[in-house]
A = this chain, B = another copy of it.
């Protein structure tokens, strides 16, 4: 390929990558919003808000499919090599993680609907903290991807530790509540799952961060072994 054609091709590739990154950013915002709203709906027992999250999940699924199709189209038409190919592949994988996170948010919103207006067995404090951390982790991981910032990506690891510790704490607390009052068992079991899903969300954010590190450095690193 001569110099001018090569240059033109790079411009087209970068334009298409920019477009894909914008869509990824949009998907990330939707997922952050879904996490925030799912937990807010649970905390305030807001059924309407929970419905919004459940219904919104389909849009996130569609967006994921669109991005995925565009990644394949980009690979097919531009035939990127080496690092460029990895950039596309990483973006492709990130959307899978984001989509799973949105699924968990939707699961949480379904718990809000399941609990309905039955009084909460305890005010929710640690669960919203886990959610805030998970949102922060997604945001950091996506920013790290766009800026190829390894340090920022690595900073997701300590957040994941904190989420894991919060989950262990919530697990113990809920077991104690159930043992003291068997009438709480049904709701407490649901809340156990909420905790676990938040923990899984933060694992997905950690996956994204690890992908970013691999993209930039070529080395596989476990952020939270």
Write the residues of chain A forming the contact surface with B, with a CB cutoff of 8 angstroms: 65, 68, 72, 75-76, 79-82, 85-86, 89, 92-93, 96, 171, 174-175, 178-179, 182-183, 185-186, 189, 192-193, 196, 220
Does B189 lie within 8 Å of A175, measured CB to CB? yes
Q: What distance in Å separates the Cβ of A44 from its nearest Cβ neighbour in chain B?
A: 25
- Which residues on the B side are within 8 Å of A86 (C-beta)? 72
- Which residues on the B side are within 8 Å of A179 (C-beta)? 182-183, 185
- Which residues on the B side are within 8 Å of A174 (C-beta)? 189
When A and B form their complex, which 3 residue pairs have the shortest distance between CB atoms, in order from nearest? A179-B182, A79-B79, A178-B185
Option from B89, B185, B220 in Cβ contact (under 8 Å) with A185: B185
Q: What distance in Å separates the Cβ of A164 from its nearest Cβ neighbour in chain B?
A: 13
Q: Which residue of B lies closest to A178 (CB)?
A: B185
Given A96-B93, A182-B182 in contact, is the A81-B76 Cβ separation under 8 Å? Answer: yes
- Which residues on the B side are within 8 Å of A82 (C-beta)? 76
Does A76 lie within 8 Å of B72, measured CB to CB? no
Option from B65, B75, B92, B189 in Cβ contact (under 8 Å) with A192: B189
- Which residues on the B side are within 8 Å of A68 (C-beta)? 89
Q: Which residue of B lies closest to A85 (CB)?
A: B76
Option from B72, B192, B220 in Cβ contact (under 8 Å) with A89: B72
10 extra interface residue pairs, beta carbon distance < 8 Å, beyond A76-B81, A76-B82:
A68-B89, A75-B75, A76-B85, A79-B79, A93-B96, A174-B189, A175-B189, A178-B182, A189-B189, A193-B196
- Which residues on the B side are within 8 Å of A80 (C-beta)? 76
Does A75 lie within 8 Å of B85, measured CB to CB? yes
13 contacts between A and B (CB under 8 A): A65-B220, A72-B85, A76-B85, A79-B79, A89-B92, A92-B92, A96-B96, A175-B186, A175-B189, A178-B189, A182-B182, A192-B192, A196-B196
